[in-house]
């Protein structure tokens, strides 16, 4: 059997059987690819060559053939297993999010591009022109950054296996995502969003659950998934506060047994409730007041959808006449909370309330007047009279 220069395998198919492969480094036997279509068998064989580290110089393997299912549970490239062994494992929901972004934003552009033809200019152009899959609208900076991280992980593995001479992502300039600064809610806007009368709050938000979700977000600055996971066991009535160790993944809407920073910071979330939130909890139906606050049906394990809550927030802000209603998100409550309390509590208490491991200045949106108030009494110490 003659072998061409650089040829790493041969394929054949016998009647009624799957395609078989014979490797150049093991020419004595033919193995089944378990694939009935030629293209699928070819893709399977090329991936096996890549993972074996035996890819020849000038390999024409396509990005799509290598990256298919890269972050999936099947772990065809061993990425997840390697990260676990190196102590950098992510949870299943984070891998699922990376896989979705790889499929939605990276594959459409790079699927049919040979690995060795991908360069830094191509990656930069892709990143700059990245738009939404369905509506063609500009993506948020966070979404673009996550898509880029997915691309970087794939190309780093290609370089490690020798499929490319170098990792082109390392030559990409620093790309600052064009994410608008998260606007914070002014005191006046918050008063309009949460009027004094509880019945008015419920009417404005269209339901007790919706009103309670956003009220707790305003009180605590918790992430959306952390609020969604709350149950009666997390509510400490005597302390007028919440203590939780769970969250709902806003990507998969499944309950997770840990909060976001459990492995690197605080493994819990703690926060205090306003009288408004306490009154709203009392208005919940009995089966939800004694169970999960934000399940659609008590005991179902199905939670209010994050997308629904985000659209709900924007609709309320639009109805209130907020000029920048499109720029706000559920995370705006978190930014607003830190901006409001950072000068009122010691830093260690601020970190505990925010669930941060270090001070995050991007969450601080203090106005010039607030800055001066924080430095009250300092002028006489620093100005020469």
Predicted pLDDT of residue 385: 52
Contact between residue 120 and residue 168 where contact means Cβ atoms under 8 Å apart: yes
Predicted pLDDT of residue 58: 40
Predicted pLDDT of residue 261: 64
pLDDT band at 317 (very low <50, low <70, confident <90, very high): very high
CB atoms within 10 A of CB 153: 19
Domains and CATH numbers, the chain: 9-171 (no CATH), 187-373 (1.10.443.10)
Mean pLDDT over the full length of the chain: 84
Predicted pLDDT of residue 176: 58
pLDDT digits (tens, 9 = 90+) for 7-39: 778 888 876 678 888 877 667 777 777 778 888
CB atoms within 10 A of CB 43: 19
Q: Mean of the pLDDT values across residues 289-310?
A: 89
Residues 305, 172: Cα–Cα separation, whole Å: 36
The pTM for the full model equals 0.65
Q: Mean of the pLDDT values across residues 347-360?
A: 85
Predicted pLDDT of residue 19: 84
pLDDT band at 57 (very low <50, low <70, confident <90, very high): very low
pLDDT band at 373 (very low <50, low <70, confident <90, very high): confident
Cβ neighbors of 192 (< 8 A, separation 6 or more) are: 320
pLDDT band at 255 (very low <50, low <70, confident <90, very high): confident
Residue predicted with more confidence, 82 or 223: 223
Contact between residue 198 and residue 205 where contact means Cβ atoms under 8 Å apart: no
User: Percent of the chain scored above 90 by pLDDT?
Assistant: 34
Q: Which of 45-49, 96-100, 169-173, 174-178 has the lowest mean pLDDT?
A: 174-178
pLDDT digits (tens, 9 = 90+) for 108-166: 999 888 888 899 999 999 988 888 877 777 777 778 888 898 999 999 988 887 778 88
Q: Mean of the pLDDT values across residues 230-255?
A: 89
Task: Determine phi and psi for 67, rounding to 5 degrees.
Answer: -85, -5
Q: Mean of the pLDDT values across residues 57-74?
A: 77
Residue predicted with more confidence, 3 or 341: 341
Residue predicted with more confidence, 185 or 378: 185
pLDDT digits (tens, 9 = 90+) for 36-55: 888 888 887 887 776 665 55
Q: What is the DSSP string of 303-322?
A: BPPHHHHHHHHHHHHHHTT-
User: Percent of the chain scored above 70 by pLDDT?
Assistant: 89
- CA dihedral of residues 208, 211, 213, 214 (deg, nearest 10): 180
């Amino acid at each position: 059997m003659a072998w061409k220069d650089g040829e790493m395998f041969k394929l054949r198919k016998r009647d009624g059987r799957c395609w078989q492969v014979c490797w150049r480094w093991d020419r004595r036997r033919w193995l089944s690819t378990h694939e009935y279509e030629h293209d699928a068998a070819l893709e399977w064989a090329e991936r096996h060559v890549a993972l074996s580290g035996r890819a020849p110089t000038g390999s024409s393997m396509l990005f799509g053939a290598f990256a298919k299912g890269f972050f999936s549970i099947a772990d065809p490239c061993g990425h997840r297993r390697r990260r676990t062994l190196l102590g950098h494992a992510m949870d299943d929901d984070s891998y699922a999010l990376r896989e979705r972004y790889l499929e939605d934003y990276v594959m459409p552009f790079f699927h049919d591009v040979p690995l060795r033809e991908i360069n830094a200019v191509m990656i930069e152009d892709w990143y700059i022109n990245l738009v939404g899959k369905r509506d063609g609208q500009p993506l948020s900076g966070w979404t673009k950054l996550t898509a880029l991280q997915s691309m970087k992980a794939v190309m780093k593995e290609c370089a490690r296996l020798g499929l490319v001479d170098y990792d082109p992502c390392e030559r990409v300039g620093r790309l600052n995502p064009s994410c608008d600064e998260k606007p914070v809610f002014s005191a006046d806007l918050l008063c309009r969003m949460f009027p004094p009368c509880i019945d008015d709050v419920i009417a404005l938000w269209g339901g007790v659950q919706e009103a309670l979700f956003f009220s707790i977000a305003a009180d605590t600055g918790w992430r959306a998934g952390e609020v969604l996971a709350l149950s009666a066991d997390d509510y400490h009535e005597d302390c007028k506060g919440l203590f939780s160790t769970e969250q709902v993944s806003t990507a998969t809407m499944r309950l997770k047994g840990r909060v976001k920073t459990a492995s690197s910071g605080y493994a819990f979330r703690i926060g205090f409730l306003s009288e408004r939130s306490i009154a709203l909890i009392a208005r919940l139906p009995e089966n939800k007041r004694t169970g999960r606050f934000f399940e659609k049906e008590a005991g179902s394990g199905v939670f209010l959808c994050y997308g629904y809550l985000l659209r709900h927030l924007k609709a309320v802000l639009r109805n209130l006449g907020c000029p920048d209603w499109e720029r706000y998100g559920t995370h705006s409550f978190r930014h607003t909370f830190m901006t409001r309390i950072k000068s009122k509590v010691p830093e260690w208490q601020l970190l505990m309330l925010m669930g941060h491991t270090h001070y995050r200045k991007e969450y601080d949106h203090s106005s010039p007047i607030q800055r001066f108030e924080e430095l009250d009494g300092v002028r006489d110490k620093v100005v020469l009279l």
